[in-house]
Amino acid sequence: MNTDITHIIHGYSQGYFLMNTEDELDPDSGHLDWYCSNERTLIPLDERFRYPKSLRRVLNQQRFSVAINRDFPAVVAGCANRESTWISPELKDIYLGLHHSGWAHSFETWQGDRLAGGILGITIGAVFIGESMFFNIPDGSKVAMVKLVEHLRRQNFELFDAQLMNPHLARFGAHIIDDPEYKELLQDAIHRPCRFVP
């Protein structure tokens, strides 16, 4: 497929996302391609955003510090480090290229010098497209989610696209909208200038 940065950003701007498909009988025969969904999951950036009370205690204890792009390659590696992953070596290289071009970022939590967790995403205008998240230390990715939402609010982002729903995201108030509504919101937000890195 065409891995030119401009082509990649154009694809995301049209509401598509990249994913590697695996053949269960031959995991090395995966194919990277564009996908879309009839539904899209959004993390609210308003008062609908919520999180468990138990996490509030963790936040109050200030167990983690946060950073942006402190170790982007380690976040990509952490997101891909699971039994079944759609983040292929080719997609890792694309993320690194997007990062070097200023499009892809990692929002991280740290416990001292240890990377506790992180969220990998692509920013276009006032849109943050969450690609994946992971943790090395319990609650590391949950704290990253709360702090990322706070950060996106401060930077006046309008859309936090989490792509596909799962029970973990639902606990944060994630909700589903249909594809036509998503694309309408997307087209409005990508044309609004925002800075992810202050």
Query: So where are the chain's domains?
Result: 5-189
pLDDT band at 100 (very low <50, low <70, confident <90, very high): very high
* Own/partner pairs, 77-82, CB within 8 angstroms, 24+ separation: 78/115, 78/117, 78/118, 78/134, 78/135, 78/136, 79/118, 79/120, 79/131, 79/132, 79/133, 79/134, 80/132, 81/134, 82/134
d(CA 69, CA 73): 9
Average pLDDT over residues 136-162: 98
Lowest-pLDDT range of 27-41, 77-91, 122-136: 27-41
Q: Please state which of the four CATH numbers 3.40.630.70, 3.30.565.10, 1.10.8.50, 3.20.20.70 is assigned to the domain occupying 5-189.
A: 3.40.630.70
Q: What is the pTM of this model?
A: 0.93
